[in-house]
Chains A and B, each alone.
Chain A
Amino acid sequence: MGHVKGLKCRECGREYPVDPIYVCEFCFGPLEVAYDYKSIAKAVTRKKIEQRPETLWRYRELLPVDGEPQVGLSSGFTPLVKADNLAREIGIDELYIKDDTVVHPTLSFKDRVVAVALTKAKEFGFDTVACASTGNLAHSVSAHGARAGFKRFIFIPASLEASKIVASLVYEPNLIAVDGNYDDVNRLCSEVANKYRWAFVNINIRPFYAEGSKTIGFEIAEQLGWKAPDHIVVPCASGSLLTKVWKALKEFKQIGILKELETKIFGAQATGCGPIATAVKSGTDVIRPVKPNTIAKSLAIGNPADGFYASQAIKETGGYAEDVSDQEIIDAMKLLARTEGIFAETAGGVTLASTIKLIRDGRISREGTTVICITGNGLKTQEALQGHTVLPHHIKPSLASFEDVLEKINKAN
């Protein structure tokens, strides 16, 4: 029932069977899932999708699994919120927020990619799943893996703050705290992945895992009434999400689900870690690695694996990329919360602040439909706002004390 033809090297085009492999033996390029779009076009219609449960699996023909979905059966299909208050504030006609602060079960878009990765891990017959992560990915692998009955190994840098790891530890994975920085952890994981037959979601399962990101693109198009927006702004860490959102829209066009496709794709990064934005702005194909220094830790990848492909997608669609300071990130997080009632993690601040700059500079026109991808929940990174929020009003437990404060509040307004 699957529509996957195999794996294919993005660089040299060499073909491989469907296996837990991720790199071309010949030229070292990344492998990507290749589909039979003719058979998918016959198998899928808008109506068929609409009749399915509201989860990411309603697009299953365009996901790289053979059998029934097994993990993340409640993940995806998050709200596309029409953000009129925010649109007015930033001077744009029609703005939507793709709100992945509420993905089931761990409140970030990583629940999408891990749902696909762990379903594929089951199909491959793995009993152990693993990842290197400091945040959202660790939470999602820990949680999805618990329910799916996998043994789980989560590798983190030992120096990580305790508060950040409770949200993984509660699911009782094997948490491996490595003496070293994040790069050291990644390097170790590559060695572990070579030696043990485990499903490392972002190493040997990466070609399948990354495909889960497409579901954000599918959902945006469906929720806009089977139309692609004029602009989409996507935060970039490795660059994979942006690449896959664009791939999703192209696939919908290819199989006839979308009639028209003229979307421009925009990338958003922190100035303290903006190798993709730097390349786009200077018009080069070469991504120069950087040492990250930003409060947007979930986007802090200095050497982005898919940076080249993300910059190509931006160029291909006539989009652009922007980067923003820590202060701009915080201001945007507060703006989003104040206008639309959505508390995003720092990455959401990056996306909104970059959008504001792109509008100001005329890269995103004020007319047309703009969608911004908010990919994780602010409750996970509350420390970023410490000292930046309004303060509570302290009173005595008496009506008089309350009314004193009330008068001050009314005056201030």
Chain B
Amino acid sequence: MAVKVRIPTPLQKLTQGKEEVDGPAGTIMALVNELDRQYPGLAERVSENGKIRRFVNIYVNDEDIRFLNAEETSVKDGDEVSIVPAIAGGAW
């Protein structure tokens, strides 16, 4: 078992079209960096200087990591991580 990571459409070019990829347990930043070794370019799209970009939301089992332990949130085998770009639309 590994950590399952859901990749949003705009980043699937980097993952050869895969919607879901596997990554290792550990912190979110370690996971991002490991995925970047497998899929070069991914880290700079979702993070900058070791921080997740402001308009990229990362959820661990449906909870936003900003309300867990942010970049230091740890994930274990079997967890589901989703990368979801915030769409800067909104209304009103």
Which residue on B lies nearest to A26, using beta carbons?
B45
A275 to chain B minimum Cβ distance, whole angstroms, is 12
| Chain B residue at smallest Cβ distance from A200 | B89
Q: Which of B1-34 contact A (CB under 8 A)?
A: 10
Closest Cβ of chain A: how far from B5's Cβ, in Å? 17
- Please determine whether B10 and A304 come into contact, CB atoms closer than 8 angstroms: no
* A305, B57: Cα distance in complex, Å: 13
- In addition to A27-B45, A28-B85, A29-B88, 14 A-B residue pairs with Cβ atoms within 8 Å of each other are A11-B55, A24-B55, A25-B10, A28-B56, A29-B54, A133-B91, A135-B92, A182-B91, A186-B90, A190-B87, A202-B89, A203-B89, A206-B89, A289-B64
Give me 29 A-to-B residue pairs in the complex whose CB atoms sit less than 8 angstroms apart, sorted by A's number. A22-B88, A22-B89, A25-B10, A27-B45, A27-B48, A28-B53, A28-B55, A28-B56, A28-B85, A28-B87, A28-B88, A29-B55, A30-B88, A110-B92, A132-B91, A133-B91, A135-B92, A189-B89, A190-B89, A202-B90, A206-B88, A238-B90, A238-B92, A288-B67, A303-B90, A304-B90, A305-B88, A305-B90, A308-B54
CB contacts (< 8 Å) of A237 on chain B: these are: 91-92
Q: Kindly state whether residue A176 has any CB partner on chain B within 8 Å.
A: no
B66 sits at the interface (CB 8 A): yes
- Any B CB within 8 A of the CB of A342: no
Q: Across the interface, which residues of A come within 8 angstroms of B85, CB to CB?
A: 23, 28
Question: Could you say which residues of chain A place their CB within 8 Å of the CB of B54?
Answer: 11, 29, 308
Binding site for B on A (CB under 8 A): 11-12, 22-30, 110, 131-133, 135-137, 182, 186, 189-190, 202-203, 206, 237-238, 240, 286, 288-289, 298-299, 301, 303-306, 308
Q: A11-B53, A26-B45, A286-B66 are in contact. Are A137 and B91 (CB under 8 A)?
A: yes
A186→B91 contact, CB < 8 A: yes
Tell me the minimal C-beta distance from A290 to chain B in angstroms: 12
| B44 CB to nearest A CB, Å | 8
Residues 40-61 (chain B) with a chain A CB within 8 angstroms = 45, 48, 53-56
- Give B residues with C-beta under 8 Å from A: 10, 45, 48, 53-56, 64, 66-67, 85-92
With contacts A25-B10, A26-B45, A27-B45 known, is A202 near B55, CB below 8 A?
no
Q: Is the CB of B53 within 8 A of A27?
A: yes
Tell me whether A238 and B91 are in contact in the complex, defined as CB-CB below 8 angstroms, given that A27-B45, A286-B66 are known contacts.
yes
Separation of A30 and B64 alpha carbons in the complex (Å): 20
Q: Whole-angstrom distance between the alpha carbons of A237 and B87 in the complex? A: 16
A170, B33: Cα distance in complex, Å: 55
- What's the Cα separation between A154 and B64 when bound, in Å? 31
Which B residues lie within 8 Å of A286 (CB)?
Answer: 66
Q: In the complex where A25-B10, A286-B66, A288-B67 touch, is A301 in contact with B92 (Cβ < 8 A)? A: yes
Q: How far is the CB of A285 from chain B (nearest CB, A)?
A: 9
Knowing A25-B10, A27-B45, A286-B66, the reply to whether A186 touches B53 (Cβ < 8 A) is no
A206 to B92, CA, bound (A): 11
Q: Known interface pairs A11-B54, A308-B54. Does A23 touch B88 (Cβ–Cβ under 8 Å)? A: yes
Complex Cα gap A240–B92 (Å): 9
**Pairwise interchain contact B90-A301, C-beta atoms closer than 8 A:** yes
Chain B positions within 8 Å of A29 at CB level:
53-55, 88
Q: Are B45 and A305 in contact (CB under 8 A)?
A: no
Q: A306 vs B89: C-alpha distance in the bound complex, in angstroms?
A: 9
List the A residue with the shortest CB-CB distance to B84: A28
Q: How far is the CA of A168 from the CA of B2 in the complex (A)?
A: 52
> Which chain A residues lie closer than 8 Å to B90 at the CB level?
186, 202, 238, 240, 301, 303-306
Other-chain residue from A23, A137, A299 in contact with B87 (beta carbon distance below 8 A): A23
Please state if A28 and B86 are interface contacts (CB–CB under 8 Å): yes
List the B side residues contacting A203 at CB < 8 Å.
Answer: 89
CB nearest to B90 among chain A residues? A305
Bound form: Cα–Cα A137–B91 in Å: 9
The residue of chain A having its C-beta at the shortest distance from the C-beta of B67 within the complex is: A288
Q: How far is the CA of A305 from the CA of B56 in the complex (A)?
A: 12
Which residues on the A side are within 8 Å of B10 (C-beta)? 25, 28
Q: Give complex CA distance A188, B66 in Å.
A: 26
Chain B residue numbers with a CB within 8 Å of A238 are 90-92
Residues of A within 8 A of B64 (CB): 289
Q: Which listed residue (A27, A132, A182) contacts B55, Cβ 8 A? A: A27
**Ordered nearest first, which 9 A-B pairs have the shortest CB separation?**
A305-B90, A30-B88, A28-B85, A28-B55, A238-B90, A237-B92, A203-B89, A29-B55, A27-B53
